[in-house]
Structures are given as C-alpha cells and as structure tokens.
C-alpha cells in the first residue's frame, strides 16, 4: 500500500505475531505520520487551546474566551481539536480542501475517531453532529464539504441545520475582519437536541461561535464544537 500523502510504498513489519494476526496498515508512512502533532492538553478549558511550551498559564481560560464571556459572546460550551496546525498539517489540509484531494481524509480517520472518544466521552446520548456548511457555490466548486467528511467519521447522526450565504473565504480575511464580520449563517431547521458542530480548522473561533449563536437562539440546549486542527 502507498502512503496517502507522499505516495511512497508502506511495507508492513513482519514478525511472528503480525504474521499470524496481520496489522492494519496505517494510511500514512512513518515519516509523514511522525510530523503530525496532537494537541496534548487543553490549557483553556473553553476553546481547548494549548499554549506554547513554557508559556505562563494564568487562568484556565485564555484571553479570547474570557473576553467573550464578559461580553456574553460565548455560545460554545467547549471546543476541542485533534491536531496542531503545523508545517506538516497545513499543506495536507490545503491539498485536501482546496485542491480537493478527498482521499486524504483517510489520514485523519483514526485520529479524529480517537480524539472524539477522549474529548467527548461525557457527551449527551442524543447529541447530533452538525457540519459547518459551505455556500452552494463553494460546494459546487469543491464537490465536497470538508466538515461533512469529518462528521461522517463520528458515531453520531449527522444533520444539516444551517445554511451559509456566499461570501469571501474566511481564510482570506484578517483576524480583525473575521471578528467583525456579520453572521454568514442562516437557520435551516431548528432542533431541541444538543449539537456538536464540526469544522476543519479553528482559528479565531468566530465561524463556530456564529453558528452556535444561531443554534442557541433557535432553542438548541447546548452547542460544543470539534475540529480537525487549530
């Protein structure tokens, strides 16, 4: 089998035990896998941010989340993410999402499922997964929704509750523009079940907060979020 990222052949280890019970081959080769870094601790209990090693931790919430709490802009119960958005992951997500190399989801399958078990073991039993939608134009362009692809890896029922209005790509805006931008989402269907929002990258959290705001206002009891990277 070939590594989904570098396309080099992956050779299985042959020992007596793997000979008898063949290992399941990982989708990434050893060197590509090695560069991916998990987020190991949630230094901010709200957004799941991990400070750089050695950074001083003053409270268990980060500045952004504290500010949001003070202005009652905090709509998410919590956010958790799987990977650090580093130099290995960034080109992988770019190729997956913008170039549209759908198969790369295989590289994320096991980590996303494992992370879900770790972070959301206490999740309410009737929680539904809601992927952040793309605008119809963008969906046509990409031919798949990356958030939906992640949501389908989880053992939760997936539901489309939101619609997105076509606009500038989030990644093309500056931090300030993002924080000030008006809400791009509209309610499509309301729900009375708790919701887990799914997206690919958590940067400032604005997108997820905006989506959560709409869901909360329409009567959803609780909204958390889970992303592939931050």
Chain residues in the site for other proteins (CB under 8 A): 1-2, 7, 95, 99-103, 139-145
Between 67 and 95, whose beta carbon lies closer to other proteins? 95
Question: What's the closest the beta carbon of residue 94 comes to other proteins, in angstroms?
Answer: 11
From residue 61, give the alpha-carbon distance in Å to each of 43, 66, 126, 218: 7, 6, 28, 27
Question: What's the closest the beta carbon of residue 99 comes to other proteins, in angstroms?
Answer: 5
Question: What's the closest the beta carbon of residue 102 comes to other proteins, in angstroms?
Answer: 4
Question: What's the closest the beta carbon of residue 145 comes to other proteins, in angstroms?
Answer: 7
Between 106 and 114, whose beta carbon lies closer to other proteins? 106
Q: Which residue from 113, 137, 84, 102 is spatially nearest to 198, judged by alpha carbons?
A: 113
Between 102 and 120, whose beta carbon lies closer to other proteins? 102
Q: Please report the DSSP string for 91-107 in residue order.
A: HHHHIIIII--GGGHHH
Where does residue 7 fall: left (phi above 0), alpha (psi -120 to 50 degrees), or beta otherwise?
A: left
Between 7 and 15, whose beta carbon lies closer to other proteins? 7
> CA-to-CA distance for 121 and 56, rounded, in angstroms?
29
């Amino acid at each position: 089998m070939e590594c989904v990222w570098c396309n080099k052949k992956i050779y299985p280890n042959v020992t007596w035990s793997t000979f008898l019970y063949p290992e399941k081959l990982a989708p990434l080769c050893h060197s590509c896998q090695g560069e991916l870094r998990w987020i190991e601790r949630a230094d901010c209990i709200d957004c799941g941010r991990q400070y750089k090693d050695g950074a001083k931790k003053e409270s268990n919430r980060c500045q952004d989340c504290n500010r949001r709490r003070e202005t009652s802009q905090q709509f998410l119960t919590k956010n958790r993410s799987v990977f650090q958005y580093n130099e290995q992951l960034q080109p992988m997500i770019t190729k997956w999402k913008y170039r549209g190399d759908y198969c790369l989801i295989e590289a994320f399958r096991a980590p996303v499922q494992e992370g879900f078990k770790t972070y959301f073991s206490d999740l309410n039993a009737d929680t539904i997964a809601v992927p952040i939608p793309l605008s119809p134009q963008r969906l046509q362009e990409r031919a798949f929704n990356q958030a939906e692809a992640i949501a389908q890896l989880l053992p939760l029922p997936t539901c489309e509750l939101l619609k997105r209005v076509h606009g500038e790509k989030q990644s093309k805006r500056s931090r300030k523009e993002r924080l000030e931008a008006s809400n791009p989402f509209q309610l499509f269907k309301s729900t009375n079940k708790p919701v887990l929002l799914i997206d690919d990258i958590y940067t400032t959290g604005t997108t997820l907060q905006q989506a959560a705001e709409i869901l909360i206002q329409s009567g959803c009891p609780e909204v958390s979020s889970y992303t592939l990277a931050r």
